[in-house]
Amino acid sequence: MKTPSPLQELSEFEKDALREIINLAFGDAAAGLAEVMGIYVFLNVPLIQIMSPEDISSYIEKELSSSTGLNIVEQYYIGKIKGVAFMVMSYENAEEILSILGDKDLLKLDDYSVDMLAQETLVEIGNIIIGACVSKIAEILSDNVIYFPPRYLRGSYDTSNLPPEFFRSNSYVVMLKTVFKFETKELNGFLFLVNSYDSVHWLKDSIDKFVSSYV
Amino acid sequence: MKRKVLIIDDSLLARMAVKKCIPDDRYDVTEASDGASGLIKYKEIGPDITFLDLTMPVMDGFKVLEEVRKINDKALVIVLTADIQTKTREKVMALGAFTVLKKPPIKNEILEAIERAEELLGRQ
């Protein structure tokens, strides 16, 4: 008997509920960022895509390819949900990132220091957004996750580094993506989470419980 | 005669949740699943109270609120959003929202907001 495609496993209503879950999660993340760093974030409608583990590498490669070079904060997490989050921003130079912080004195530093500070700022932003977002999703789905340290990468992403135990062939992958924009400058970024579930039944049950408790 | 309520939210779950809170013996509820169709519905039915999400496709809630207030500067728009940034709240209040509620919706908060809106409607 043919195994049903993952695309058929979640109903449209369940996908709608997942979209609302990430909406809540990203709302919390943006508020966290605003509080900690004084940065206002415009939020866009989150996207959800169900995919097979075999498609993850090509999806990530497509998302993380850019002629101008990307700045990527990558962070793995593990619980009943296992996955990796990518916060991605594309900018021409480090000063654009530091301009988010609004401190003109930072731009007087030498080029190396500006670059390092921009990286640290990005990692911090990524840490806050990814942490708040994933934690909220885990909380809503009654899961606990632990995080691996975030990693900064520039330019391109080598998908051969994706750990196979995270995305086994019998797992079920949900990609969640949100595009965001910082108010201070025309800097855009996006966050996408690639989540693997060993049991789609656990995911469906958790979504059902969330739906029941939604009001 | 029943009051008219319009719910504008791209999430079916959110629309269902809000509708569940609204007593159907007192209110006729209409729904719209994006900002643009929400604005069209607003013009068609002229609701007494509107529940509005912010993060929506086609036209976001900020734009809808702005346009609704141009149509009716006394429009009672209750913003219901997952975006809890202080600045977001300030922006929507400056655009003329009646109040801002955080998602997920809490029944008591929704009923309280409706009651407060009713007080104003009674005076109009």
In the chain, the amino acid numbered A185 is: K
- Decide which of A88 and B114 is more confident: B114
Sequence-separated (6 or more) residues with CB below 8 Å from residue A190? A63, A87, A88, A177, A178, A179, A180
H or E, element range at B77: strand B76-81
Residue B80 has pLDDT above 70, yes or no: yes
Query: How far apart are the CA of A14 and the nearest CA of chain B, in angstroms?
Result: 9
Residues of A in contact with B82 (CB under 8 A): 20, 23-24, 26-28
Residue B89 has pLDDT above 70, yes or no: yes
Cβ-based neighbour number of residue B34 at 10 Å: 18
Sequence-separated (6 or more) residues with CB below 8 Å from residue B104? A24, A213, A214, A215, B17
Residue A191 has pLDDT above 90, yes or no: no
Residue A68 has pLDDT above 80, yes or no: no
Average per-residue pLDDT in chain A? 80
Query: How far apart are the CA of B124 and the nearest CA of chain A, in angstroms?
Result: 31
State mean pLDDT over B93-108: 94
Average per-residue pLDDT in chain B? 94
The rounded distance, in Å, linking the Cα atoms of A23 and A28 is: 9
Q: What is the pLDDT of residue A63?
A: 79
Beta carbons of B13 and A30 less than 8 Å apart: no
E strand map for chain A: 41-43, 47-51, 70-78, 81-89, 146-147, 151-155, 172-182, 187-197
Residue of B nearest to A23 (CA): B82
Residues of A in contact with B20 (CB under 8 A): 215
The rounded distance, in Å, linking the Cα atoms of B47 and B29 is: 9
Strand partners, A49: A175
| pLDDT tens profile B51-76 | 999 999 889 999 999 999 999 999 99
Confidence band, pLDDT 50/70/90 cuts, at residue A102: low
State mean pLDDT over A178-190: 75
Sequence-separated (6 or more) residues with CB below 8 Å from residue A56? A159, A162, A167, A173, A194
Q: What is the pLDDT of residue A93?
A: 64
* Residue among B57, B86, B106 minimizing CB distance to A45: B57
The ipTM is: 0.85
Which token pair is A173? 């992958």
Residues of A in contact with B54 (CB under 8 A): 43
The rounded distance, in Å, linking the Cα atoms of A68 and A92 is: 7
| pLDDT tens profile A12-44 | 898 899 889 988 988 888 888 788 777 788 888
The rounded distance, in Å, linking the Cα atoms of B44 and B109 is: 28
A146 half-sphere exposure, CB direction, 13 A CA radius: 1
Of A76, A99, A97, A86, the closest CA to residue A167 belongs to A76
Q: What is the pLDDT of residue B30?
A: 97
Q: Which of A33, A39, A45 to mutate to test the interface with B (most CBs of B within 10 A)?
A: A45
Confidence band, pLDDT 50/70/90 cuts, at residue A2: very low
In the chain, the amino acid numbered A90 is: S
Q: What is the pLDDT of residue A66?
A: 65
- Decide which of A161 and B10 is more confident: B10
H or E, element range at B59: none
Per residue, the 3-state secondary structure of A128-155, as one string, reads HHHHHHHHHHHHHCCCCCEECCCEEEEE
State mean pLDDT over A181-192: 75
Beta carbons of B85 and A16 less than 8 Å apart: no
Look-up: residue for tokens 């809503």? A140
* Residue among B82, B88, B107 minimizing CB distance to A215: B107
